A and B are shown apart, each in its own frame.
Chain A
Amino acid sequence: MEFHIDRAKVLPKANLWELLEGLKKRYKLIAPVKEGEKFAFREISDVSSVELNYTRTILPPKKFLLPYRRERFSYDPETMEFKSSFKAEEQVIFGIHSCDLHGISILDSIHLKENPDPRYLEVRRKTILIGISCFPDEYCFCLSTGTAFPDGANWDLFLTDVGPDYFVSIGSPKGDEIVLTFKHLFREIEKEDLELYKRSTAKKKRAFNEENLPDLERISQLIELEYDSPVWEEEAKRCLGCGTCTNTCPTCFCYTSVDVPDLTGKEVKRIEFITSCQYPYYSLVAGEHYFKPTRTSRFRHRYYHKFVGYPYQIEKLGCVGCGRCTAECPAGISMVKTIKRLRGVDEKELREVTE
């Protein structure tokens, strides 16, 4: 019997380690590892340290596509000769969850759609993305953002845990090549595999708790309609302005740059580093004018950019529901709760309506 999914294979779980070893020999291998009680994407030297069952890493895999601190170029201020030390390496990022793959797809739209950034393009060309399926915890809301399952064509392989095996979806010719290279580790799919795959995705869907999911219908309009809502100020009161939400966000990309001279003044390096709209400094311009002068305006700005700005720019929401901004916020500010409050459906109000 012929199946129409010819872009999928099955990888028995026991063969995964050999696949990782093989990838490590050919590329720089990056994968999640456990550090303390949290997880982080790191370059792998020992494949047994790769963590397959993790909820979320502190930082998204974005850091291997857009380093948080990077040198744009260096120059001699007298001759104005410019040099670049940029070099992209062939790399495989393994174990990316669906939300982060969607995050990378958003970064792709930002950096490659209009005026493509040649560096980002080169890094992306040399990067292979291998995703893995996951189960949500109380902070995940990817089901609302439509990012719970891989989509589009920005990833190469996606492994869905179906029990004894991984159901491997192939997303690109690069993914095909990998499967071909490691042919002996994969087997063809059979009808039962398809059933298992469908059951596994349905199981993930059911694992979400309705209470943890925001209603994102017409969210751009909601945010604009609620511009003057007192909710912004009430939530912003607790905001420390520490920038953790944007620094851990898989779709935030703002950066600033500074020229750093060496002691002799013969070489000046232009250093770019990631910054956050939550810092007053971010909107500071000449004459000590702040475009976002209050904590409330900075707080609201992030929601505006995610839910109004991105849709205008790339026709997608800027949020993939990974839950990092909520899970890592020292003050415990929750994006889902803020949205629910803006909708006016937090528990108290709901009770008032029903009573």
Chain B
Amino acid sequence: MVKVGIVGLTGCSGCQCEILNCQDALLKLLTLVDFALFPLAKDGEFDGELDLLFVEGSVSTFLDKEKLLKLREKAKILVAVGSCACYGGVQAQRNDEAELEQMIREVYGKWELPFELFKPSPLSDFVEVDYFLPGCPVDKKQFVYTVASLLNGVKPFFPKLPVCHECKLSENECLLLKGVPCQGPVSYAGCGAPCTAKGVGCQGCRGDCDFPNHQEMLSLLTQRGLSYEDAVKFLKVFRGNSFKVRGLNEKGA
């Protein structure tokens, strides 16, 4: 039987909960795979080889790092689940604004700690990641699709289309045209645009789409009442670690 592991590092466990919410699919999966390692849902230790490993959360302590390096050696395929694992998550949104020492002194009141801490980082800073499933939380359908594809030896297919694609085809009123700050045009679709359907601007939780035009996005956001600094912060919420303003000048843009 295929051995599957699902573990969490620094994060809210929301993605693992979302995986547990895939009820129908989980019932089918239980007959097909062995959830060898799933500390959130299952008791017991497991130290063997894994065929498929899903990791949620960012790497922010030496414990995270050790766990990740050890698991990577035992796993044939590693999938980063959720925006923390893929990009560092919301906790990484100010990584470029302060030094680690400054952050630790602010939070703990002192620099010397009994353990080593890092700035929250995506898994790919430490190990090779085979597939990325961003989202805050991860989308259930995408998770099931990924598992179904990998179990059957098919490479899952994730075109990095913008959220506008799914939003427009759901025939929602365009929020940007209504004056609501929305990151849809530069964010990676796959979620089915649930936020914009409810009138909440896209927060970009799945990161960038292919060749995003950040320059135009920033100018649209500033035209809708945000200062330039706030607009950049808005884009950085989930893009954190990797964010840089991309526009027309680079290849493919």
Verify if B176 is at the interface (C-beta below 8 Å from A): yes
Interface residues of B in 1-35 (CB under 8 A from A): 25, 28-29, 32
- CB neighbours (8 Å) of A57 from chain B are 171
Q: Which partner residue on chain B sits nearest A42 by CB separation?
A: B171
Contact A240 B213 (CB under 8 A): yes
Within the assembled complex, what's the spacing in Å between the Cα atoms of A68 and B171? 11
- CB neighbours (8 Å) of A236 from chain B are 248
Contact A276 B157 (CB under 8 A): no
Within the assembled complex, what's the spacing in Å between the Cα atoms of A220 and B4? 57
- CB neighbours (8 Å) of A59 from chain B are 168-169, 171
Name the distance in Å between A277's Cβ and chain B's nearest Cβ. 12
Within the assembled complex, what's the spacing in Å between the Cα atoms of A265 and B2? 14
Chain A 149-175, CB within 8 Å of chain B: the 1/0 string?
000000000000000000000000000
Contact A247 B211 (CB under 8 A): no
Chain B 162-192, CB within 8 Å of chain A: the 1/0 string?
1011001101111011100000111000000
Verify if B147 is at the interface (C-beta below 8 Å from A): yes
Verify if A110 is at the interface (C-beta below 8 Å from B): no
Contact A242 B185 (CB under 8 A): yes
- CB neighbours (8 Å) of B248 from chain A are 233, 236-237, 295
Q: In the complex, which range does the number of interface residues on chain A fall in? A: 35 or more
Within the assembled complex, what's the spacing in Å between the Cα atoms of A68 and B160? 18
- CB neighbours (8 Å) of B173 from chain A are 35-38, 58
Residues on A facing B (Cβ under 8 Å) = 35-38, 40, 57-59, 68-69, 233, 236-244, 247-248, 256, 258-265, 274-276, 279-281, 290, 293-295, 328, 330-331
Question: Which 8 A-B residue pairs are closest in the complex by CB-CB distance?
Answer: A242-B164, A240-B185, A265-B152, A242-B185, A330-B176, A281-B159, A261-B152, A280-B210
- Subset of 18 A-B contacts with CB under 8 Å: A36-B173, A38-B173, A59-B169, A238-B216, A241-B162, A242-B162, A242-B168, A247-B164, A247-B169, A259-B154, A260-B148, A261-B148, A263-B144, A274-B169, A293-B252, A328-B168, A330-B176, A330-B185
Residues on B facing A (Cβ under 8 Å) = 25, 28-29, 32, 144-145, 147-149, 151-152, 154, 157, 159-162, 164-165, 168-169, 171-174, 176-178, 184-186, 209-213, 215-217, 220, 247-248, 251-253
